[in-house]
Amino acid sequence: MANPSTSTLIAPSGNPLTLTTAWDVLERFGVALQQCDQSAQQIRLVLDAVRESLDADAVFWYPGSGSEPFNIAGLATLSSQWCRDFTERVLAETPGVDGQLLRPTLDPGSNPLTPWPTSAVLVRISKSRSSWVVAVTFDAERSFQVADVKVMTLARRMLLNHRQQVASYEKLKDTLFGLVRCLTAAIDAKDPHTWGHSERVARIAVRLGKQMQLPGAVLSDLYLAGLLHDVGKIGIRDSVLQKPGDLTDEEYIHIQEHPVIGDRLVSNIKQLEHLRPGVRNHHERWDGKGYPDRLKGEEIPFLARLLAVADSCDAMMANRAYRSALPTSRIDAIMTAGAGTQWDPRIIDHFMACRDELYPICQRGIGDSVFLAVERALRATDETSSRKSMQAARVAS
Ligand SMILES: [Fe+2]
């Protein structure tokens, strides 16, 4: 890149190098960065992008006190020692060098390094660790220009924005993971007779979803919605929830409030908001006689229709205070009879096709599966904002 006053620049080879080329490189860099959580890979990406954008002889990472290893793109003949010596000498002798253009006036001093660049740009990545990205060129015909500095500072901003985004994402993921675990544990604690029910429903729903060949994102939703489907029971009186005998009419109406309470709770968590239909409508019936909204047939959200099958399956398999677990032959008969009245007949067809694998599903601890499901939910939420990150970086730079 040479003349900042025009949009067409001449590379030393004589091939035209346009500003469009630099933007294209940065655009590719931004896309690649979005897929990259590892620090070493991020560094590699930024070095390659800067080198390609600036047509620099070499671009290297000076780690300062950071733990990232030295890394270089371009001239393999430059040793890590040379890169270290050069950076430290410039930093010691040129105050305020961050984002400045160092051109042939670069003074090699009385003890010159060999080779000595004709121009260089240093941009600081971390103040606390004193890590830098350094671009150098050795050909007087292709000295860096102001536009090169702009491109390099933009690449830095993109990297720093992305690192900040990754850190926030990890924090949010941990928080959400903890929240889902906490809510699931709270449901279990409220009703010890159904301990582990949420986890089993989640696993049954996922297995059923796989039988239906649903995509991974839907399976994640099924898992989380299964865990949370009864979260509204937190708002139900213990005396009703744990009552071993028949419920009074008033108690029955009270317990039927749990899907609406759950819907309200989940609506407060933006990243899980899309699970609300599964939570609110998992007690609807195909014939419209369910609750709370008395939806009918395909009016019932798909997530809720599938959870209704998984929920009933686990309820019938489990021992309860007032009855023992039903034999699988009895469950088969109930499910078949309820297809088209209580449950979506198409889902029951799939249920019957894989029921031998559904029945043995037993409660286990919440492990990686919930963590992955939370991650997928977050990624879906973040997709829109990440697409805007490069534009934001451009504006900010
Ligand atoms: Fe329920």
Quote the ligand 1 centre to 383 CA distance (angstroms).
31
**Strand pairing report for 131-137 and 119-126:** antiparallel
**Could you give the maximum distance between any two Cα atoms of the chain, in Å?**
96
Quote the ligand 1 centre to 158 CA distance (angstroms).
46
Report the C-alpha gap between 143 and 138 in whole angstroms: 8
Quote the ligand 1 centre to 207 CA distance (angstroms).
19
> Cβ of 231: how many Cβ atoms within 10 Å?
24
Instruction: Please list the ranges in the chain whose pLDDT falls under 70.
Output: 1-20, 104-111, 321-322, 362-397
The pLDDT, as a whole number, for residue 127 is: 82
Peptide bond into 345 cis (omega under 30): no
Length, in residues, of the chain: 397
Quote the ligand 1 centre to 177 CA distance (angstroms).
22
The pLDDT, as a whole number, for residue 205 is: 95
Quote the ligand 1 centre to 336 CA distance (angstroms).
21
Report the C-alpha gap between 80 and 397 in whole angstroms: 30
Report the C-alpha gap between 158 and 165 in whole angstroms: 10
Q: Which residues pair with 98 in a beta bridge?
A: 122
Burial of 125 (C-beta count, 10 Å sphere; 0-12/13-18/19+)? buried
Q: Which residue has the tokens 């986890």?
A: 199
Quote the ligand 1 centre to 23 CA distance (angstroms).
53
Quote the ligand 1 centre to 294 CA distance (angstroms).
15
The pLDDT, as a whole number, for residue 210 is: 94
| Residues bordering ligand 1, an ion, CB closer than 5 Å | 230
Quote the ligand 1 centre to 161 CA distance (angstroms).
42
Quote the ligand 1 centre to 280 CA distance (angstroms).
9
Quote the ligand 1 centre to 62 CA distance (angstroms).
57
Quote the ligand 1 centre to 229 CA distance (angstroms).
6
Domains along the sequence of the chain with CATH: 8-144 (3.30.450.270), 170-385 (1.10.3210.10)
Quote the ligand 1 centre to 255 CA distance (angstroms).
9
204-238 pLDDT tens trace: 999 999 999 999 889 989 999 999 999 999 999 99
Quote the ligand 1 centre to 228 CA distance (angstroms).
10
Report the C-alpha gap between 134 and 143 in whole angstroms: 14
Quote the ligand 1 centre to 386 CA distance (angstroms).
36
The pLDDT, as a whole number, for residue 302 is: 97
Quote the ligand 1 centre to 313 CA distance (angstroms).
12
Report the C-alpha gap between 124 and 93 in whole angstroms: 16
> Cβ of 322: how many Cβ atoms within 10 Å?
10
Work out the end-to-end distance of the chain between its first and last CA atoms, rounded to an integer number of angstroms.
19
Quote the ligand 1 centre to 328 CA distance (angstroms).
21
**Token couple for 198:** 């949420």
331-376 pLDDT tens trace: 999 999 999 999 999 999 999 999 888 877 744 434 445 556 666 6
The pLDDT, as a whole number, for residue 390 is: 46
Quote the ligand 1 centre to 371 CA distance (angstroms).
23
Quote the ligand 1 centre to 47 CA distance (angstroms).
54
Quote the ligand 1 centre to 283 CA distance (angstroms).
6
- Phi, psi of 218, deg, nearest 5: -70, -35
CB-based contacts of 74, cutoff 8 Å, min separation 6: 51, 56, 57, 58, 59, 60
CB-based contacts of 174, cutoff 8 Å, min separation 6: none
Read off the pTM. Answer: 0.62
Task: Report which of 381, 345, 356 is spatially closest to residue 270, judged by C-alpha positions.
Answer: 381
Task: Report which of 65, 23, 43 is spatially closest to residue 163, judged by C-alpha positions.
Answer: 43
